Amino acid sequence: MHYLNNLWAALDFGSLWDMLLRLAAVLLCLTVHETCHGLAAYALGDPTARQAHRLSLNPLRHIDWFGLLMMFLAGFGWAKPVPVNPNYFKKPKQGMALTALAGPMSNFLLALIMLLAARIFCDVASYSEANQRILDFILMVAILSIGLGLFNLVPIPPLDGSKVLFAVLPDRAYDQLMRYERYGMLVLFALVFFDVGSNALSQAISWVFDLFCRVVGL
């Protein structure tokens, strides 16, 4: 019993709580991102995501557990891609581009909503430790959502930005690039491993965060 009491006293519940808040924020951002991919595809005529039960805000339908683990260990992770069949689109390349854009755009919208909520919360809530934790969570969601949106706009497969780039390319160039799409994940791992572009991404996140704060008057 004495050992258990010492173990209990040694646990850092502040860090554990912070980890749980970060996990909840990551799951919210990823879930909104993937769900909006599916909703965009469905709006354009593709029922594949709906048939796969991916038009859901249940994070368990979108989690890739290894990708989630990598997000915490390496700062780079992923969710399960929403299945999309471009054959349902009247214009497949354009349909894929719009479906891809829906993810990052939903993250930017989520960030704006969170920052607006933070402004209202600051106006109406008195300071307390509990209220500070709520505010910290709201701001964490906003920052992570902006980061996820910007990162996915990088035009490297399989990120959403590559599908947008491919949509504006001539068919011949599109076909050539699609041959190398499977190597995109290796390129991303290399960029993360060698810390290439992280400063630029951090600056972009800071700039967008400040812009959104001004938009909502925070």
pLDDT in tens, 71-94: 767 666 778 889 999 999 998 889
Specify whether the CB–CB gap between 143 and 205 falls below 8 A. Answer: yes
pLDDT at residue 183 in the model: 76
Q: Which residue has the higher pLDDT, 23 or 210?
A: 210
Q: Is the pLDDT of residue 178 over 90?
A: no
216 residue type, one letter: V
What residues have CB less than 8 Å from 21, skipping those under 6 apart? 133, 136, 137, 140
Distances (CA, A) of 129 to 16, 133, 154: 16, 6, 38
- To the query of whether residue 34 is one of the catalytic residues in this protein, the response is yes
Q: What is the pLDDT of residues 108-147, one digit of tens each?
A: 999 999 999 999 998 888 878 888 888 989 999 999 999 9
Catalytic residue among 25, 34, 44, 112: 34
Distances (CA, A) of 92 to 7, 41, 74, 87, 156: 58, 11, 34, 6, 19
Residue-wise burial string across 126-141, b where 16 or more C-beta atoms lie within 10 A, e elsewhere: eeeeeeeeebebbbbb
Q: Is the pLDDT of residue 4 over 50?
A: no
